[in-house]
Structure 1
């Protein structure tokens, strides 16, 4: 499944549920932040080198998926391809960090 298939599936799901009215950039950003907090919660009170249980890894995957879904919805609202903006940011970071290393 490529990104366009995922985006199409997400939009169809959203529209079937009637959630379009809630999918403005502000509310999507809030939801993204809440889901990212749920990722962080999995690691709360754990040592940095602690191994996650199988159940915790599964939970982490689910929360990461939620953050990606809200990110994809935001990208759809902005009319941008998430893979393109990540590639652009990587290029920017490489150029910036190579300049500072010289």
Structure 2
């Protein structure tokens, strides 16, 4: 078995975001690669990692962004998505 059972990937994202936001970060998030459904992640337990070649040409991502900037952008995008869900839920109630 697993140490923690998550019902789906949406339940995992806040935990991963916490590991990314930590100082020093424990995880790095790579942008979604072309033709991929989800972002990819890598641990930083053994030091910094390079972005896989298959993800370097991801649409909408400039090569000038650092890994930290990509992580920050992804966290912000996830927060906006969560806030949009909350606003929609509130609108549906009223």
Give the TM-score band, short-chain normalised.
0.3 to 0.5
User: Which structure is higher in RCO with an 8 Å CA cutoff and minimum separation 6?
Assistant: 1
Q: State the TM-score, normalized to the length of structure 2.
A: 0.34
Q: Choose between structure 1 and 2: higher strand proportion.
A: 2
* Bigger Cα Rg: 1
Q: Choose between structure 1 and 2: higher helix proportion.
A: 1
